[in-house]
Amino acid sequence: MLDEKKIHPKEKLTLHPRNKHRERYDFKELVASFPTLATYVRPNEYQEESIDFFDPEAVKTLNTALLKHHYGVEYWDIPKNYLCPPIPGRADYIHYMADLLAENWTKNNIPTGNKIRCLDIGVGANCVYPLIGNKEYGWSFVGSDIDAVSIASARKTIESNHLQQQIELRLQLNPNDIFRGVIQSNEFFDVTICNPPFHTSAEEAQAGSARKINNLKHKKVNKPILNFGGKSNELWCEGGEEKFIGRMILESKEFAHSCRWFTTLVSKESNLRNIYKSLKKVAALEVKTIPMAQGNKVSRIVAWRFHASTGNSSHL
């Protein structure tokens, strides 16, 4: 009996309706925008054009093509072994933030333009959230990071795309602080975003990557290549995601008047219980949990604020 060909849906319905990546990758269009990608495109086991998603260089080149084709990013690169994030998931976060801000805007319109200010905690060497947020909605960004190499890499991308007036970078000098040392006095942000370190150690990160590859390739891999890369501060921290978000929540109270909405990704559903407890302790006025999904990966955004929004004003 012949093996049945796996049928892939034409549209990824779990992605946000405005996400440009809901349809399957059109490799002919992507190669036309970024010819280097052609080196990595080959038929997969179903004889469809694809890349080897376990090859870090192929993944990085695909990201470069996606950013150029869909967002007009002419130059993008990251240092070796730094986090190379999946673009569709990053775009989803930005679109859900647009919806969140629209809830309190005039006639529920999505606010656009550079008067909307966003803070990306842990902008990384890739700088993907600010690039997408600026290209999709015209928002201005401040990106912070504790890693000087990440800041230097992101700055090269920003300068190469002439976005210095739209995206500002700040090095966080104290790795134990999140908003302190970044948000300046009398400064206001409409929303903060964050993709926190998930794991508690390097060993846990490697084990997690091995499990993912085992599940996808159906064979045992003990020391996998991290196909999406990631340095220590990007992938793990003491206490992992739960402790990092707990610190973020406590510190956000100090900056209650500096931001309309604080938000973070939460990968692990079991962390929600303690996150909600922490938000109750700091007396958050409103908490929202926004579900997200990309393929088989299910996550969510937790958003909180301390004061009611006042329409289109630039302050609370």
The mean-pLDDT minimum among 43-47, 123-127, 196-200, 289-293 falls in 196-200
Which residue pairs from 300-303 have beta carbons closer than 8 angstroms and sit at least 24 positions apart in sequence?
Answer: 300/265, 300/266, 300/269, 300/272, 301/93, 301/96, 301/97, 301/263, 301/264, 301/265, 301/266, 302/245, 302/263, 302/264, 302/266, 302/272, 302/275, 303/100, 303/261, 303/262, 303/263
- Joined together, the tokens standing for residue 220 give 């045992």
CA dist 183 and 171 (Å) reads 11
**Interval 18-31: pLDDT, tens:** 999 999 999 999 99
Q: Which of 302, 252, 311 is nearest to 282 (CA)?
A: 252
Q: What's the whole-number mean pLDDT along residues 187-204?
A: 77
CA dist 167 and 127 (Å) reads 9
pLDDT > 80? residue 185: yes
CA 307 to chain centroid, in Å, comes to 25
CA dist 212 and 316 (Å) reads 43
Domain boundaries, the chain: 81-305
- 210 pLDDT tier (thresholds 50, 70, 90): very low
pLDDT > 70? residue 212: no
**Interval 243-285: pLDDT, tens:** 999 999 999 999 999 999 999 999 999 999 999 999 999 999 9
Strands 189-194 and 259-266: parallel
**CATH for the stretch 81-305:** 3.40.50.150
Residues 33 and 65 sit within 8 Å (Cβ to Cβ): yes
